[in-house]
Structure 1
Amino acid sequence: MGRIANLWMAAAVIGMAAPVSAQLLGGTGGILNGGRLGDVTGGLLGQSTATRDTVVDTVAEPLMTVGDTLRATAPADLLSLRRQRLATLVRDNRGVLDVDDHGNPVRRDEIVGIGLSDEQIAKATAAGFAVRGTESIEALALGATIFTPPGKKPARKAIGALRALVPGAQFMLDPIYEPARAPLAPAGGAAEGSAGPAGGARIGLIDGGVGNHPAFAAARIEQRGFAGPPKPTGHGTAVASLMVGSAGVFHGAAPGMPLLVADVYGGSAANGSAVAIARAMGWLAANGARVVNISLVGPPNPLLEAATKALLARGVLVVAAVGNDGPAAPPQYPASYPGVIAVTGVDAKGHALIEAGRALHLDFAAPGADMAGAVPGGGWEALRGTSFAAPLVAARLARVGSSGALAAEARPGSGRVGRGIVCGACAIPPKSLGVK
């Protein structure tokens, strides 16, 4: 039996024993309506169990721990699983998603133009392209127009004609960005939020929504939705807890620091697009975020690149995860953009995670395994993935103020860890919180 078949069999058997989501791993299983993580195909960041990582606990004698399983998995196999996962995402959301020429999920029937003049827009509409909407992101000095192609022609085929019709203009598809590999399911319960706006020096988070949890009792969190109202997710809640949470023995890297949360999913896996992320960046810039964490990955995109450049030009530090699809996967964005602080993960022994993806550059590593984080509604789960290393770096960066100061704290590690491991003591072992 091949490597992929072995991995799929392990994932399927473990999925039956204890439903989990790929990057939020733990020994307590998942209950959607009870505020824990569900195993829902097609829900926000929910994928079929066959494409998910295995859990940390050994469920049966022939099965290995997640670290052992991944070490036995070739990079090409991880890449194959990535392709299958993305195909599943599109299949489960056919009404609103399509693929580009490389198989990346994109918003169906949408072509985005940046900085178009009235004359250019008029040319497009005269040729049958309908204006679906416009976006003005004042804080980043960006404007975008969203077109629908004429007839039933797919956007990936119609975009060439639009570029020929309006030469010199920038047109692109609107890709979907997911939480640094196989995404997490939504969770029930209310969204976390303090009584008033988060004041003082602020950290920004672009992710799914953050749910209520005792770890946020003293936190100042303000949420804004960019794909509908904010809705709690396991991924967003875990990431936020690693940044500003505090409860008993658990603490994030910057407990109590005001946090601005931009939910770019709104409860749907078909969201998380470049347009939503660019709008989120504009809101964070306008509201004083000085460091922004983005534990999301996807393909390069001119709008995302322009928004990232504009955010960096305002002096905002941007931290992003490199993903978990292995070194054979293409470089992921926004981590690969110049000026973005790209982060990978390490285990408790300081070894780079075998499943860590790659960016065009690598800056730092932080704990990405053998650690726990918050679950919406209360409780804890064991975590694994570069999604959870990036927020530790972002929060610590907000504390020290510069990448140079962060580099001075970095310690050596094993494998590709960039300038070194930071926040090594920030990982709270799952056992200390009662998670097996």
Structure 2
Amino acid sequence: MSSAGTRVFIARLAGTTVFDPLGDQVGRVRDVVALVREKGAPRAVGLVVEVPGRRRVFLPLTRVTAIDPGQVISTGLVNMRRFEQRPSETLVVGELLDRTVTFKDGSGTGTIEDVAMERQRDGDWRVTQLFVRRASPTTGLLRRRGETVLVPVDSVTGLSAADVAQGAALMLARYDDLKPADLADVLHDLATTRRMEVASALDNERLADVLEELPEDDQVAILSGLERTRAADVLEAMQPDDAADLLGGLPDAQQAELLALMEPEEARDVRRLLAYEENTAGGMMTTEPVILGPETPVAAALAHVRRQDLAPALASMVFVVRPPLETPTGRFIGVVHLQRMLRDPPHEAIGALVDTDIEAVSADAPLLHVTRLLATYNLLALPVVDSERRLLGAVSVDDVLDHLLPEDWRETDDEHVPTPPSGTRAAAARDVGRRG
């Protein structure tokens, strides 16, 4: 068991693996929940742990038997209910890192880079020290980087100032390893103001990826909070179908303004998608699958499907068309499956490998028809063509799932998770009750 006086730096704790007493992995630490008061040292009450299924749950520190470098040992009793932050609680990584505090001795301000908590004799954990970088002094025209100091928590003010604007660089550094869907979960759980601060600190590509994974109301709130030119840049970085879905949730005037600020080619694709009904092939499709001419060698086609930004479903096949290769293309010929390309010589032209039996759908094909075709033929994507058989885009299985699931599916996954046996749940509930 962690002994009294054990000091743990929380920013370094983020990402640490949590094990049960038998050595089985429970999840990873993503944050620490603390109760910050106007007077007295903040009390750390639990860990936010990400468990399989991307669920973030609360693990009371009373259920933690040891915190060592590289591992946290728990009793194994974890309440699998999704963590929901209470108004009285502060997330140390999410809300205290990058916060500006003022030194009580009048020596200026600084930015919190890490927070230390220590176990007390009574078993409680208290936030006792702050690793702070002092505000940078200016010498002539040069600005020097401020020194770092480890100071007692009671030597500064500003920890409980929830409305103080702050940066997000340190927090994002701790979450740099997260996939977009996981970072979206983190943002969703943050308070509105902090969510906007963190979103604004992401680069355009990363923010675009994260927005695609957020519930629609969060997407709209974040995009509306960005400066208009930046919002247009982020929309350009999104997949056209996702950008169209997001713009569809905005007022007409705001939608028109953002489309006017986008690059003409990017805006053209999005406008075309906005013209289709939502639950049709046209409303679900992307205009950017892998599209190549029949003379393309297998080696070149494989290089295209290796693109890191390409969704796995769209990487499963190449759409072969006559020029032009931009949608709407020349006449659609057929598809070449990834597995077929892996079996043939690199110099072989993909036109000789085309599967012409794949049934293309029209832009107005309803969701149910598209779903049946994907399921019947075990496909990951379907071509969408117009009346002249020109390729307009492709509908992938993940696009269909997004439309089949309830609108709030990202927020209601807990309802279908098995609960622990009643004795275990009751024990966990007693500890959860100690959060207040």
> Which of the five TM-score ranges fits, normalised by the shorter chain?
under 0.3
Higher relative contact order (CA 8 A, sep 6+): 1
Name the structure where strand makes up a greater proportion of residues.
2
TM-score when normalising by structure 1: 0.25
TM-score when normalising by structure 2: 0.25
